[in-house]
Structures are given as C-alpha cells and as structure tokens.
C-alpha cells in the first residue's frame, strides 16, 4: 500500500478492523444457513475482496459465482443506468443465494439485481454488503448482513475504486483532494 497511501486523506477502516467484522458476519451466516449449502454471488468488480475474505471465513461449504453489473461509468456519481455485463454461470433455481457486495450507495444496483435474481426462483435470496451509505435507505432493499454503515463520503479500497484504481488498498479511506484535480 506504500505508494497508494500518499493519495489518501483519511483511513476509515483498517485491514484488521475489516477482517474482524467480516469474521463476525461469517459466523452469523454459518449459523443462519446451518444445514443448507450457500451460493455466494459476487458482484464484479468491487466485491472481489469481500468475496475472498467472507468465503474463507465461513466454516460451511459454499459455492461461488459472479455477475458483472455496472451502474457507475467512471467518476464518483451513480449514473442510475444498470447494465448486466456478465451473467451467472449457475442456474440458481432452488438454491440459497447470498449476494455479496462491497458497497451499497444509492441501492440502485441492488434493487435491479434483486428483481432480476428473484425471477429465477431461488430457494432464498439475501444480501451481504461490506459497506453501506445513508442513501441506500431510499431504495427499499432489505440487507441481511452489513459490515459497516458509513457516511456519504467517496471512499476507496477493499474493492472500491476511483476510475478503476485503489481497489487493492487493504484499508478503506477517503482520497486526498490532489487526486481529483
């Protein structure tokens, strides 16, 4: 992270804080799905880190699949336009599906995704997100597992990007003003 650190303004969550919280949620998920096999559906690209960490923190078997949908072209604002860039490889009908996200901001991405996945008749569908912003409340999507509720600042790291960069930062932080100029 050394080179990236110079671009940061404030660290909101360290690598250790994130790992501890993900482990807590994994324990909850293990309990809630006891006797059932989960399909984790990661939303590319942002969810790669949380998928890797959550899946390995689980004690139970799980399967993993991926969807790529994009609501942000670039920059820091949601465009509100949701596109499927890559669909699941798995037929989820009859499966217990847990959608894994890095962040819920406006909730537009997820409200679209939940409608789309529910039409495929899964046995159950729940959502896990590492981070959630206040605006998510405007789109009534029920989120079963939330890592951290965060303020409405633009943050990067742990999968979250700014113009494709900073996903590989192990902490979650705000960017210094010079990055935007």
**Residue with CB nearest Mn ion?**
46
Q: Which CB atom, from 68 or from 123, has the smaller least distance to ligand PRP?
A: 68
Position among 55, 60, 70, 174 found at the interface with ligand PRP (CB under 6 A): 70
Under the criterion CB under 6 A, does residue 78 sit at the interface with ligand PRP? yes
Choose the catalytic residue: 16, 53, 105, 153. Answer: 105
Residues 2-61, interacting with Mn ion (CB under 5 A): 46
Residue 105 known to be catalytic = yes
3-state secondary structure of 16: helix
What is the DSSP pairing of strand 124-132 with strand 145-149?
parallel
Torsion of CA 47, 2, 13, 43, to 10 degrees: -10
DSSP 38: E
Q: Which range in 57-65, 71-79, 100-108, 144-152 contacts Mg ion by CB under 5 A? A: 71-79
What is the DSSP pairing of strand 62-70 with strand 83-86?
antiparallel
Question: Which position has the token pair 């939940």?
Answer: 114
Instruction: Tell me the site size for Mg ion, rule CB under 5 A.
Output: 2
Under the criterion CB under 5 A, does residue 161 sit at the interface with Mg ion? yes
Under the criterion CB under 6 A, does residue 109 sit at the interface with ligand PRP? yes
Measured distance CA(52)–CA(57) in Å, rounded:
9
Q: How far is CA 96 from CA 13, 35, 69, 103, 132, in A?
A: 30, 11, 21, 21, 23
Kindly state the smallest distance separating residue 131's Cβ from Mg ion, in Å. Answer: 12
Q: Where along the sequence are the contacts to ligand PRP (CB under 6 A)?
A: 43, 45-46, 70-72, 78, 101-109, 161
Q: Where along the sequence are the contacts to Mn ion (CB under 5 A)?
A: 46
**Active-site annotation, residues:** 105
């Amino acid at each position: 992270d050394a080179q990236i650190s110079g671009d940061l303004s404030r660290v909101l969550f360290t690598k250790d804080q994130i790992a501890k919280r993900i482990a807590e949620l994994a324990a909850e998920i293990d309990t809630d799905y006891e006797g059932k096999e989960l399909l984790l559906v990661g939303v590319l690209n942002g969810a790669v880190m949380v998928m890797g960490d959550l899946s390995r923190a689980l004690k139970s078997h799980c399967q993993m699949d991926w969807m790529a949908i994009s609501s942000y072209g670039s920059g820091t604002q949601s465009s509100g336009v949701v596109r499927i860039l890559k669909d699941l490889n798995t037929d989820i009908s009859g499966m217990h599906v847990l959608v894994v996200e890095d962040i819920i901001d406006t909730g537009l991405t997820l409200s679209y995704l939940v409608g789309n996945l529910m039409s495929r008749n899964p046995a159950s569908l729940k959502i896990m997100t590492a981070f959630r912003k206040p605006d998510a409340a405007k789109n009534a999507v029920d989120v079963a597992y939330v890592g951290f509720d965060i303020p409405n600042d633009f943050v990067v790291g742990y999968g979250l990007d700014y113009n494709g960069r900073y996903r590989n930062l192990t902490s979650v932080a705000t960017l210094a003003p010079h990055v935007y100029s």
